[in-house]
Amino acid sequence: MSKPEFQREAKKHLGQHFLHEKGIIAKIVQAVDPKPGDRLVEIGPGQGAITFPLLDRHGSLTVIEFDRDLIEPLTEASKAHGALTIVHRDVLKVDFSDIAGDTQIRLVGNLPYNLSSPILFHALDHADAIRDMHFMLQKEVVDRMAAEPGSKVYGRLSVMLQAYCRVTPLFKVPPGAFRPPPKVDSAVVRMVPRARDEIAVQDRKRFEHVVRAAFGQRRKTLRNALNGVADSALIEAAGLRPDARAEQVDVPGFIRLANLPST
């Protein structure tokens, strides 16, 4: 068990669970494996459990922290480890492309579970500026992110993320690794944005609309779920069966359907 450099009570309304397990922290740093020249950006440093080991390893780090009560202790404690730049803002209002400038950033974070999906989609909006992401999330969310067609947890999140990123679950993290312990298991996941010429989506808004509608009522067939979005002829033109359900359609299938001219 690792002793934090400073301690603050976790704020429930911010979804704070502070990581403290030394072995898990070491595995995260090893997974990130920072190299000279990397631009590391951590979301939600908390009490610095991942921050300070990354600083020890890499020498410099930018962190995004919303809780003003953590700014001063993070600033003071970081002096013994390296150069820490703190961005005191809501991460959903942070422009990752602006932080990256003329390079790409590597995102790391123990994300607040009540904001994990919005943060993931916000990161996708700046995917060109991001080389990779290593996030701690609720294990159930990681399972959904990486799910394959036919799985009970394959859904909108799976399709939207896999269309733009390679998603690789790395390892599970038990509740006892946090203070206070959450009521669920967690997991660390790696996401690597696909190169622009590898992404086959032609119209992102159309793609989002099709995927959202398809999974809006999971028990419905594509013919019924996509009523008003894509008719049976269009579904068949994409090489899909109108009587199939959304969870049976792979990511390329949704991309083909969204890329066809709507009627």
What pLDDT sits at residue 180? 79
8 CB burial (10 A radius; 0-12, 13-18, 19+): middle
Find the range with the poorest average confidence among 4-18, 20-34, 193-207.
4-18
Asked if 138 contacts 113 with a C-beta cutoff of 8 angstroms, the reply is yes
The mean pLDDT of 4-27, rounded to a whole number, is 67
Find the range with the poorest average confidence among 111-115, 132-136, 144-148.
111-115
| Residue list for the binding site for S-adenosyl-L-methionine | 17, 19, 44, 65, 90, 110
| Element of type H or E holding 18 | strand 18-19
Asked if 78 contacts 48 with a C-beta cutoff of 8 angstroms, the reply is yes
The mean pLDDT of 108-125, rounded to a whole number, is 91
What pLDDT sits at residue 263? 58
The mean pLDDT of 60-89, rounded to a whole number, is 93
What pLDDT sits at residue 218? 81
Q: What is the pTM of this model?
A: 0.90
List the structure tokens of 183.
Answer: 């009521």
- 247 pLDDT higher than 60: yes
Phi-psi category of residue 132: left, alpha or beta, with phi > 0 → left and psi -120 to 50 → alpha: beta
| Spatial distance between the Cα atoms of 198 and 212, rounded to a whole number of angstroms | 22
171 Cβ contact list (under 8 Å, min separation 6)? 27, 187, 188
Asked if 189 contacts 145 with a C-beta cutoff of 8 angstroms, the reply is yes
| Spatial distance between the Cα atoms of 24 and 1, rounded to a whole number of angstroms | 9
| Residue list for the binding site | 17, 19, 44, 65, 90, 110
List, for residues 141-193, the tens digit of each pLDDT value. 999 999 999 999 999 999 999 999 999 999 999 999 988 788 899 999 999 99
- 1 pLDDT higher than 60: no
List, for residues 183-236, the tens digit of each pLDDT value. 899 999 999 999 989 999 999 999 999 999 999 988 899 999 999 999 999 999
Q: How many CB atoms lie within 10 A of CB 76?
A: 11
Asked if 229 contacts 207 with a C-beta cutoff of 8 angstroms, the reply is no
Asked if 24 contacts 177 with a C-beta cutoff of 8 angstroms, the reply is yes
21 Cβ contact list (under 8 Å, min separation 6)? 1, 2, 173, 176, 177, 178
**What residue ranges define each of the domains in the chain, with the CATH number in brackets?**
12-198 (3.40.50.150), 204-259 (1.10.8.100)
| Spatial distance between the Cα atoms of 49 and 110, rounded to a whole number of angstroms | 10
